[in-house]
Structure 1
């Protein structure tokens, strides 16, 4: 997964040596130093970045298809963290992420212009609930609806399903402005050549006419309904994976569930960007300050939280530098924790599924306590 609220500083020039977090206890804080082995151009504004995973860390970086990693670097004196979805071939000796430059995106501009093989960055192990577990005995039909850089986690899912489940099929609806903007085009064509009818790719271009009118335009409700009626057997699809900007993802989800009758539990969502929203007003009965007990990486800490001025994550970072976070916008889910005692209210939630909420999970970057005491466990 990638992109969130951008950091507005000037990125390190491409000619400079990479600025890397040199904390010798980085591994204890959840990050590991990984060396870049390849930076492959994908489009004019996107690259695929591969990292070597040493044998001693291969179990740590073993991932479920669809998961993401958090990449950390110090750029112009600023600790920058971003989450990027894993999209490489199944295997344990390296991991690959896709990075697309975004306006005012410090790390994405650095990665697309200044990162080079041999550079070392701090990378946290895979996380996130988006994705699936492969099972060679399964026979299923998996479909993806993605736009732009939203291809990255769904490409990883498609590769894993096609290679590990000989009886399964994958259909992918991929929205872009033009053919020039299609990330991982060669990889997708390779999957089509390798797996034939088991992999169906439908490229939808909004600013470039194609032979099929159905595939020319934006992935809006009408187009999705048209494609579903003519090209995709919706009842035959077992699971849908949606990834991209907020508007596209919510439109696709609502179209599938409300218009096409797909069970909500079969629609899985991941966002790559969401605009900031206004904070929710706190309840009048909310405690002025909260004493929070936090369990993280096997250690407990206590901190006072002013719910009017800060989130739980803001407060925890004052006493625990190893608190996990990346986007701080409610999108990536890196800061998820279980509320064991007390209550919080989230300003927004784009990352947690209904079943996760039912288990008490909350996003600490969006959570403001409403009780005088609070106990949470990071997961």
Structure 2
């Protein structure tokens, strides 16, 4: 009986070892690295746990409860911490300090939420030399913020495609966005931090994903991976650029130059008009000083002239005279 139990236990271990762990994100090992875990819904978080996962067991790393706070297991004390110190309800990313090769492996972010229940995300940490480098992009898509962008790829006709996977490539990590098994007609539920729309239809020869309301953070490389039932595989890479203000910023130098030119033109025009007006007034003033009126020439010279003209000019001959002296207020005469 004991021998049979031992064989069953060995069979269970062998089965567990042979099963491939399905990962949501691949992270390149670094001395200081972050395992990103952001719950994409607004449900209430009741408890969260981080585990290091092997084929036979789960090793507890950290646990968080809104009621009881944070607990770091002794083997990870002083080496891991939560990125969001304020513990936002949906962001429970975990950072490593002084990480080493012993930290390579699979990690699970396991959440208890209300009312949806449990939710988990699996993150794979790999060696730097094992981190897959993305192929050069083939197509380039440019979009403005706020639009719905569709990324699509045509499946090859030379062999039967069994599975198509969409990924976003970053220098430090690879996020799995969608995975469709065409033979089974099953679609993978993405654990990516933003919403992604896709379909999974048996017999389809084209695969696509839709990114609704794109933002600047959506810019980057996207890869479509094909896998055939016969073992062949191929990839198609495209680049998305969301011009978050870049399009308008490139016109700023031209606008600034145009404004400067307009200001210079207005300044020169004002100075020119002022000089011309000043010269005209100066000529008129000289003419008035050296030319006596006709009725003055008829009269005898008289040194006692009245400071006020007896016959003020009419409206037609009135002219503004600009005198460079201060204006004094007139005081009324005091009656005796």
Q: TM-score, normalized by length of structure 1?
A: 0.21
Q: TM-score, normalized by length of structure 2?
A: 0.23
Structure number with bigger Rg? 2
